[in-house]
Amino acid sequence: MNQDVEKLWELQTVLSQLGDREKQLTNKPESFAAVDREWQNVNSSMERLREQIEQHSKERRRVDGELSDQQEILKKYQGQLMQVKNQQQYAAAWKEIDASRKHVKELEDSTLKTMTDIETLQKQHDDLEAGNVDLKSRWDTEHDAWQHSLGDLRTEVEQLKAKAAMIEASLPERLRREFHRIFKQRHNVAMAKVVADSCNGCRTRVRPAVMQQLKRGDLVHGEGCSRSRYLETPPS
């Protein structure tokens, strides 16, 4: 068997194992995932409440500003009432005062409602925040347990990376580049094993002439999947 072909197959095997282990590093165990979902939901709810409180606060500041302006206008109309000289002017002044008073009342009612809404939202936020203390403690405990369990897996990942680097270093540059080109193009599978005269990569039957090439240890690319094919030789 061609030693380079054997090395390429070994590299494919190591990189496949490495990919599986790295996925395991990011897969949350259900015990942590359940707490994490609850944690994320609570924090999202708190964030929405904070945004609503800020929107109401902005509206209150706007209304307060308009109320202040309207109160000044009302004072002006009331001052003008003392200067009227006839019944017509008096009636017009009272009309302006009445409209201004109604507007002031509407703004005061709006401010009161906004303040009540803010208090309600703030209480909801504070209740969630208070309950979040215990939830955060449970999240930390489950997260720490998960991370602790990954110690051996991280060690294995580093060992596989080192092994892959060692294999690559022993390969000719041309083969190494070709392997990684196919590896990226074909979903991290650059080599496909031939089993029972069929390619595991594309499930196509391997022609007899190609089988002879593989038996000689030649590096042959699949016609269907473009991957390098590997035929395992029985131990002698």
pTM of the model: 0.57
Residue linked to tokens 């944690």: 39
Give the chain's mean pLDDT: 90
Per-residue pLDDT band for 86 (boundaries 50, 70, 90) equals confident
* Counts for the chain of helices (H) and strands (E), in that order: 6, 3
Write the CA distances from 50 to 45, 122, 126, 133, integer angstroms.
9, 8, 10, 18
Q: What is the distance, to the nearest Å, from the Cα of residue 225 to the centroid of all Cα atoms in its chain?
A: 33
144-192 pLDDT per residue, tens:
999 988 888 999 999 999 999 999 999 999 999 999 999 999 889 998 8
Q: Evaluate if residue 20 carries a pLDDT over 70.
A: yes
Helix pair angle (151-169, 87-149), 10° resolution:
70
- Give the pLDDT confidence of 102-129 residue by residue, as tens digits: 999 999 999 999 999 999 999 999 999 9
Token digits of residue 108: 């005061």
β partners of residue 194: 199
Interval 181-203: pLDDT, tens: 999 998 899 988 888 888 777 88
Confidence (pLDDT) at 214:
82
Q: One-letter amino acid identity for 219?
A: L
Mean pLDDT for the stretch of residues 97-104:
92
